[in-house]
Structure 1
Amino acid sequence: MANKSTIIPLLINGEDITHSSTLEVISPATGEACWSAVSATSEDAVQAVETAQAAFPAWSKTKPSTRSAILLKAADILETNVAKYAGYMMTEMGADIGSAQFFVLPLAIAMCRDIAGRIASVCGSVPVVAKEGQSAMVWKEPYGVCLGIVAWNAPYVFGIRSAATAIATGNTTVIKSSEMTPRCYYALAQVFKEAGLPDGVFNVISCRPQDAPLVVNTMIAHPAVKKVNFTGSAATGRIIARTCGENLKPILMELGGKNSAIVFEDADLDKAAGECVAGAFLNAGQICMGTDRIVAHSSIASALIEKIKSQLAAFAKQADTLPNVVSVASKTRLATLVSEALANGAQLVAGSPTPSSTPQASFIPTILANVKDNSKIYHEEAFGPLVSISTFETEDEAIAFTNATPYGLHAAVFTKDLRRGLAVAKRLEVGAVHINSMTVHDEPALPMGGVKGSGWGRFNADEGMKEFLVSKAVTWDD
């Protein structure tokens, strides 16, 4: 599928925009350029925002049935051509076919259909006010232009929940795509164009990393941008949130996580082992909800480790190649985390003591035990096929360990006692807890987001729709 001569344009007002400034997109599997993408300037960014602003008055007046029909058509197009769109993701970010074609795209399609089904239910309220002879209504209205700044690791999911939710609620949008996956986001915008979305409602730009601060800050500061949403790292999220604060722009943020899976002594160890392996290594571990830490009761830790090793071996046999992380730089970072942890006394349960020896951006799935708190991996999000195992003696100890992180996205609890699972879930400082299933769980019916350093606000479901709507109170004398 790779073609070095292909140039991925910007999409502004329904038109492909190209110019001489481009960036190479490197395929992790080959280490070579798969295609290039146009790198937006600040002038391009302003044009995209002003195009979205011009399209807003007409789009905001469309009927729910019109919006629903377009979203449903877009979902059908994605589903019909799922192998093609998965191919873009596999080429750009090195994803395996299971993650791209059978996880990310089906989830994105389901989200698109779910959002389409919620459009007609958006409504205000008629509260009873205190004053006699007076009445009131509360309207739900679109913000206007919504800026979405999106990550590379699940492009179709992030594109749908950012752009499709904005469109569904009567907003227009500009998506600033990741430079790692510009073709995926451009393709998604083209899907909506093919589905009948009017020009200017959905615009996509990408740019070189060194140009991103100027391009993004220009859009956030633009008066037409009324709401921002960001999916990405906590470090970048802090910068964007600071800029939004300076410009008094509301922002929805879903950031990273240091997600723990707690395995109690009464857990089904076969179930726990399978879910922990899937949670740690799906999409090469490059999922914000991925399992970073397995926390096992000391009485079953040895048995669990053996079952995890067995599950990992079975997982590896199903794959033709080693998993790829998104870049050689990411691989180098992961290898450094492993080397440092081993030097500080951690034990290698599975993987290689020299993980950088594999070709290109491939990385051997790695499990560490007894990681010391002076190692970076103890504190930092791994975001790769790397997980650590530690033990606990008491429930309080397991909860304290899980909460002792700046993040608060997802957690898992494995126990046969549902009451215990629910009680523990209540005490965990995270946005979601999954009892007897892996930390990776995102679906249209459930709000998605975190607490603490994992962001604020929620995508998905009714809460996700409300993030893109503003309330207006109206009163009158009877």
Structure 2
Amino acid sequence: MAEPKQRHTHKNAVQPPTKLVLKPPPPSAFHVESSAPIRSEVQFVLPGTRPEAALAAVLIVMSASSPSFTVPLFIGGKDCHPDKTFDVVSPCDGKVLHRCGSAAVTDASAAIAAAGEASKTWRRTTPPERRDIFLKAAEIMAGRREELAGYMATETGAPRAWCDFNLDVGTDMLKDIAGRIPTLEGSFPALMDSNTSAIVMREPYGVVLAMALGNTVVFKGSETAPRTMSAIVSVFREAGLPDGVLNFIVHEPSAAAEITAHAIAHPLVKKINFTGSTQVGRIIGRLAGENLKPLVLELGGKSPAIVWEDADLLLAANQCVLGSFLHSGQICMSTEKILVHNSVKTEFLDKVVAAIDRIFPGSGDAPTLVNSSAVAKNKALVADAVSKGATVVFGNPDAQETSGTRLRPIVVDNVTEAMDLYRTESFGPTVSVIGVGSEDEAIRIANDTEYGLTSAVFTEDLRRGLRFAREIETGAVHINNMTVHDETALPHGGAKASGYGRFNASKGLDEWVRTKNVTFKN
């Protein structure tokens, strides 16, 4: 592949980038330096791209500092060590970080049974009791921020600032959930028969909100970051969460199909939450349908950002760069394609290149992706696009990095429908640029995808922005902000093949409760 043409920019005209939502670190902090280490309701939770006075648990997790350490499962309030284990490998250098116990079907059954038993008492706890545990968990998570962020950076290869940001958001969400626990309300509707009255009760089931509302959880963690997840579970343990309310299992990849199918079919499992790829989401959805289990899915995305001719181009460039390359594009909400008005496309791309140079400088090692397959996927998408007429305007996919899991930002211009990159989610540091000439064309291309998670529009005309927002088929449209935007006050979720259901805020609360009608004679 030919070396990309370098764009000439006036760097002294570039102003500081706009800040991230929820008070993140400055964008320059996201650069990775070369040595960065970086009731009987049971909710079954599958992993995505997040509990003894638990001193013993804390010490166990903190001792995980060598390949000789094995991350345990956590079932019924006890650490469990299966006979079978697997290596957890650093995405930065391929070295073994530690080992992890690999759950079998019997372990999954034990976790579900423990959750079912715990629900008998947990569902009867009062809202203030549950609220206090969540507030304590938020306090502990904040106090253990250094430890938890270190685990996350080491296992995922993410920049330390990104790990800190995620933990800060997690702490805020725990506080928000704690505040919502006492707000669950039923209703007392008037009936046609004046001699009959009714109460509509709301009974909970779900993930973190489910625990807050009196349900129990089996958390099936990711095999790529089990130490991080085990440590977060220990936060709830330390906060006083009773045994069996939160159970943690993880397994080697080859066991996924058997354990997942078994857990979904288990009669005690009443609802499933899955965050991950659309491909796996379809499998989960089929299994849930066969067993008549409701579920919430947060899946893949191909998030578009529309940059209009009246946009603040510096703002748009900064936000599109952040949205595309935070965490090396490994975020479900990452900006995957930028639709820019033809009249400002050249100027906008100049500002994009300058923003990348400033926010994600090229010194030191390239950022790390989760594995070498992710790098290969991005390189293949770029190669296909270039072979069909696209142009790489920033980055060099052929550059030799210090490991096969590293890749720097890539911007590909003149992407068309004939290219794989047009439709395929890269889930990496690759973004497409497409010129458009009308609102109708921009909307058509933005919606020309199976996905519909989030989107962005950059314009100084709010009415135009709202017109776009009404027509774009996504769960969120952010006007003059990047596509990566999630906070406690906003319900989060997608449309189309990006899944269904919502997290956060009152809508997220509603997702995890069901109604029950109780009638009685006056």
Q: Secondary structure at the match of 2:421?
A: helix
Instruction: Give a deviation string over 1:313-358, Cα, whole Å, max 9, x none.
Output: 0012397532111111211111111222112221011110415655
Residue matched to 2:110: 47
Instruction: Give a deviation string over 1:282-332, Cα, whole Å, max 9, x none.
Output: 111110000000110000000000000000000123975321111112111
Tell me, in whole angstroms, the C-alpha distance in 2 between the residues paired with 1:347 and 1:207: 42
Structure 2 residue 163 is the aligned partner of structure 1 residue 112: no
Residue matched to 2:96: 33
Correspondence for 1:132 among 194, 202, 207: 194
Cα displacement (A) at 1:279: 0.2
Cα displacement (A) at 1:251: 0.3
Tell me, in whole angstroms, the C-alpha distance in 1 between the residues paired with 2:284 and 2:90: 28
Instruction: Give a deviation string over 1:130-163, Cα, whole Å, max 9, x none.
Output: 22211111111134xx5xxxxxxxxxxxxxxx3x
- Mean Cα deviation higher: 355-364 or 283-292: 355-364
Q: Quick check: 2:76–2:114 contact (8 Å CA) kept in 1?
A: yes
Residue matched to 1:285: 329
- State the AA in 1 paired with 2:394: A
Residue matched to 2:445: 401
- State the AA in 1 paired with 2:171: I
Tell me, in whole angstroms, the C-alpha distance in 1 between the residues paired with 2:364 and 2:232: 29
Residue matched to 1:19: 82
Count of residues paired in the alignment: 459
- Mean Cα deviation higher: 230-239 or 331-340: 331-340
Tell me, in whole angstroms, the C-alpha distance in 1 between the residues paired with 2:405 and 2:197: 63
Residue matched to 2:305: 261
Q: Quick check: 2:397–2:407 contact (8 Å CA) kept in 1?
A: no
Cα displacement (A) at 1:373: 2.1
Residue matched to 1:149: none
Matches within 5 A, 1:15-164: 15-101=78-164, 103-143=165-205, 162=207, 164=208
Q: Quick check: 1:408–1:431 contact (8 Å CA) kept in 2?
A: yes
Q: Quick check: 1:356–1:363 contact (8 Å CA) kept in 2?
A: no
- State the AA in 1 paired with 2:113: E
Residue matched to 2:71: 8
Tell me, in whole angstroms, the C-alpha distance in 1 between the residues paired with 2:494 and 2:389: 32
Listed as ranges, the gaps of 5+ residues in structure 2 are 1-36, 38-64
Instruction: Give a deviation string over 1:377-397, Cα, whole Å, max 9, x none.
Output: 111111111101111000010
Correspondence for 1:435 among 473, 479, 496: 479
- Mean Cα deviation higher: 405-414 or 323-332: 323-332
Structure 2 residue 247 is the aligned partner of structure 1 residue 203: yes
Tell me, in whole angstroms, the C-alpha distance in 2 between the residues paired with 1:75 and 1:459: 18
Cα displacement (A) at 1:399: 0.5
Tell me, in whole angstroms, the C-alpha distance in 2 between the residues paired with 1:28 and 1:248: 38
What TM-score do you get using the length of structure 2 for normalisation?
0.86
Structure 2 residue 512 is the aligned partner of structure 1 residue 468: yes
Correspondence for 1:215 among 230, 240, 259: 259
Tell me, in whole angstroms, the C-alpha distance in 2 between the residues paired with 1:271 and 1:177: 37
- State the AA in 2 paired with 1:6: F
Tell me, in whole angstroms, the C-alpha distance in 1 between the residues paired with 2:377 and 2:361: 26
Residue matched to 2:50: none
Tell me, in whole angstroms, the C-alpha distance in 1 between the residues paired with 2:371 and 2:337: 23
Q: Secondary structure at the match of 1:299?
A: helix
Q: Quick check: 1:335–1:355 contact (8 Å CA) kept in 2?
A: no
Residue matched to 1:274: 318
Residue matched to 1:192: 236
**Cα distance, 1:247–1:231 mapped onto 2, change above 3 Å:** same
**Cα distance, 1:228–1:174 mapped onto 2, change above 3 Å:** same
Instruction: Give a deviation string over 1:388-439, Cα, whole Å, max 9, x none.
Output: 1111000010001000100000000000001110111011100000000000
Listed as ranges, the gaps of 5+ residues in structure 1 are 147-161
Q: Quick check: 1:56–1:171 contact (8 Å CA) kept in 2?
A: yes
Q: Quick check: 1:28–1:360 contact (8 Å CA) kept in 2?
A: no
Tell me, in whole angstroms, the C-alpha distance in 2 between the residues paired with 1:417 and 1:341: 33
Tell me, in whole angstroms, the C-alpha distance in 2 between the residues paired with 1:377 and 1:111: 34
Q: Secondary structure at the match of 1:444?
A: coil
Structure 2 residue 499 is the aligned partner of structure 1 residue 455: yes
Tell me, in whole angstroms, the C-alpha distance in 1 between the residues paired with 2:493 and 2:113: 30
Residue matched to 1:369: 413
Tell me, in whole angstroms, the C-alpha distance in 2 between the residues paired with 1:411 and 1:353: 26
Tell me, in whole angstroms, the C-alpha distance in 1 between the residues paired with 2:400 and 2:412: 16
Tell me, in whole angstroms, the C-alpha distance in 2 between the residues paired with 1:10 and 1:465: 28
Matches within 5 A, 1:284-323: 284-317=328-361, 320-323=364-367
Q: Quick check: 1:332–1:356 contact (8 Å CA) kept in 2?
A: no
Instruction: Give a deviation string over 1:244-300, Cα, whole Å, max 9, x none.
Output: 000000001111110000000000000000000000011111100000001100000
Structure 1 segments of 4 or more deviating over 4 A?
355-358
Q: Quick check: 1:31–1:360 contact (8 Å CA) kept in 2?
A: no
Q: Secondary structure at the match of 2:455?
A: strand
Tell me, in whole angstroms, the C-alpha distance in 2 between the residues paired with 1:319 and 1:406: 37
Q: Quick check: 2:366–2:401 contact (8 Å CA) kept in 1?
A: no
Q: Secondary structure at the match of 1:473?
A: strand
Identity level (%) = 45
Q: Quick check: 1:60–1:142 contact (8 Å CA) kept in 2?
A: no
Cα displacement (A) at 1:20: 2.3
Tell me, in whole angstroms, the C-alpha distance in 2 between the residues paired with 1:375 and 1:244: 34
